A = this chain, B = another copy of it.
């Protein structure tokens, strides 16, 4: 019984010391207690999954999945899509000066992955998937009828970056399923984790942008008053 009490006291002291050390580190704010570890110059940021539509020189429609993508300007509305020169789509876009961005829903995750794993040089990917290419209204590129959202883009710039060439496309039109109002179609997006090579769906609505942070703005205003 006495031994047990002694042990408890020792444990309590040790916990206390550790707790104090941790607290000191917290307050210190310096490098030593930073819990981050350096991973080096790697790409580990999650990124959207876009399926890029293009025609080859003979008019054969092709789809390729890309994840080195993003929005890059509001006026004119533009997107970036970076591709390696080795891809079939690279040459198609250079030739036709146009591409589409197609957003696969969860239902088309297999097709989206397939589009990213084989080359249009060797296969008719659209025939293989049974998906329907439709010629864009505004640009010389096909979009996928079955996907919930498609964006028609005109090539406005290219930039050599290294392994990848960046294409900048101006958005000419967005096409969305009529059945999905209020941008619910966008909720179908897939997200790619380049490090673990997994696809994720979109999660819960966490709050309104340009609004949820006002609590901090207001608390600051009150403090100044």
Contacts and interface: CB of A to CB of B under 8 A. Distances in A.
A164 to B, nearest CB: 4
Given A46-B48, A70-B70, A114 B36 contact: no
A141 interface: no
B113 A209 contact: yes
A53 to B, nearest CB: 13
B44 A128 contact: no
A186 B195 CA distance: 9
B70 A68 contact: yes
A72 B174 contact: no
Interface stretch (A5-13, A14-22, A73-81, A86-94): A73-81
A63 B211 CA distance: 17
A197 to B, nearest CB: 4
Contact of A207 (B40, B46, B109, B203): B109
- Total copies of the chain: 2
A158 to B, nearest CB: 11
A178 interface: yes
Interface residues of A, number: 108
B73 A80 contact: no
A112 B214 CA distance: 11
A44 B148 CA distance: 12
A93 to B, nearest CB: 15
Contacts of A172: 41
Nearest to A160: B73
Contact of A48 (B45, B72, B116, B173): B45
A36 B78 contact: no
A215 interface: yes
A163 to B, nearest CB: 4
A119 B40 CA distance: 31
Contacts of A64: none
B46 A189 contact: yes
A1 interface: no
